[in-house]
Amino acid sequence: MKEALEQIRRTADGLIAAAADEKAVDELRVRFLGKKGELTGILKQMGRLSAEERPVIGALANEVREGIDAHIRARMKDLAEAALTARLAAETIDVTLPGTQPVQGGLHPFHLVLSELKDIFLGMGFDVVEGPEVELDHYNFEMLNMPKSHPARDTQDTFYITENILLRTQTSPMQIRTMEQKKAPIRIIAPGRVYRSDAVDATHSPLFHQIEGLVVDEGITFTDLKGTLEVFIQKLYGPETRVRFRPHHFPYTEPSAEMDMSCFKCGGKGCPLCKGEGWIEILGCGMVHPKVLENCGIDPERYSGYAFGVGLERITMMRYGIDDMRLLYENDLRFLKQFN
């Protein structure tokens, strides 16, 4: 029996030392020290021993058990430490490596020009207001002196939702909404999306953007309109830019005009961009029609005002020399990245 115990000790020691991982060691613990293990098997036979042999073998059995147990614990500890060391080595982070650059977005050219334009007008004491894109016929046309029968409606290919509701064709309804609400004095710009049933090409889109301007106060004259718009254009395109006004017709202004600016490319000499004219049409404007003031409850005997409407697409394209409007909507990063 003594020999059997020694045999167990040798086998166990050899196997524990050779065990590759904690799981293998645990299996050896069960095999040698478990309830149905080899050592227990030997101890069960103790009854057959004589009274003198029993304490000697008992002591040896205990010693073998403790020896194997201690060996198992030590091996477990070593293996755990080795596993940790290996993991630390595998998961090492090199903090000196360059980081990955996060993708950084930029502002769309519309936003760049619009914020420049807002800055210019805010600097001249204007407020920025916004209004609905789904608009009443009443505000989009009726109150602007364009009753249902008016031919000027036909030039705006309108998306109607019902007979009296439509996608606004212009930002001019914001004049009416503002005058109705605030009366006078008023000094606002109203940027926003507008819609017309136009086919897409290099200069047309069914969705585009306008910025409306409106000033109403006592003693406002056409010189205020001219001076303000000249300053605006010169701030946007440079102090050498000249402007000119041509008579025009809008039902909601009287007199009405279109404003041209000297071609920013040739300086007015004439080039392919301005089609040899030296001038580029930039916006519509005029003195608010007395009837429109009256419609909004403002006394045209006391107050006068001017208004203008400018296309954001047009001034953005001029600003950056973009020759196709579709580029502004396609969101091609190769195009957009050039502005940041």
The residue among 192 and 309 lying less far from ligand DAH, judged by its C-beta, is 309
Point out which span in 60-68, 157-165, 219-227, 279-287 binds ligand DAH (CB under 6 A).
279-287
Cα(31)–Cα(25) distance, integer angstroms:
10
For residue 172, the minimal CB distance to ligand DAH (Å) is 4
Total number of residues binding ligand DAH (CB under 6 A)? 11
Residues 6+ apart with CB under 8 A from 213: 121, 126, 188, 189, 190, 228, 285, 307, 308, 309, 310
The footprint of ligand DAH on residues 211-250 (CB under 6 A) is 212, 250
Q: How many CB atoms lie within 10 A of CB 296?
A: 20
Integer-rounded Cα radius of gyration of the chain: 44
Q: For residue 141, give the nearest of 108, 116, 164 by alpha carbon.
A: 164
Q: How far is the CB of 118 from ligand DAH (least distance, A)?
A: 17
Minimum distance between the CB of residue 286 and ligand DAH, rounded to whole angstroms?
5
Rounded Cα distance, 328 and 144, in Å: 30
Max CA separation in the chain (angstroms): 134
Tell the smallest beta-carbon distance from residue 202 to ligand DAH (Å): 19
Residue with tokens 């046309």: 141
Smallest distance from ligand DAH to CB 325, Å: 16
Shorter beta-carbon distance to ligand DAH: residue 288 or 328:
288
Q: How far is the CB of 255 from ligand DAH (least distance, A)?
A: 10
Closer to ligand DAH by CB, 172 or 178: give it.
172
Q: Are 279 and 243 in contact (CB under 8 A)?
A: no
Closest contact distance (angstroms) between CB of 311 and ligand DAH is 8
CA nearest to 214, candidates 182, 237, 245: 182
Pick one of 178, 205, 253, 316: the residue that binds ligand DAH (CB under 6 A).
253
Closest CA relative to residue 141, chosen from 130, 157, 152, 129: 152
List the one residue out of 129, 175, 167 whose CA is nearest residue 291: 175
Toward ligand DAH, which CB reaches closer, 121 or 250?
A: 250
The full DSSP string for 182-224 is H-SSEEEEEEEEEE-----BTTB-SEEEEEEEEEEETT--HHH
Q: Which residue has the tokens 């400018």?
A: 310
Q: DSSP letter for 279, please.
A: E
Q: Toward ligand DAH, which CB reaches closer, 75 or 253?
A: 253
Tell me, rounded to whole angstroms, the distance of Cα 201 from its chain centroid. Answer: 27
What character string, x for contact with ligand DAH (CB under 6 A) and - otherwise, covers 281-320?
Answer: ---xxx--------------------xxx-----------
Cβ-based nearer residue to ligand DAH, 169 or 241 = 169
At closest approach, how far in Å is the CB of 336 from ligand DAH? 27
Binding flag, residue 121, ligand DAH (CB under 6 A): no
Between residues 241 and 253, which has the closer beta carbon with respect to ligand DAH?
253
Q: Which residue is nearest to ligand DAH (CB)?
A: 309
Site for ligand DAH in 162-201 (CB under 6 A): 170, 172
Question: What is the contact surface with ligand DAH in residues (CB under 6 A)?
Answer: 170, 172, 212, 250, 253, 284-286, 307-309
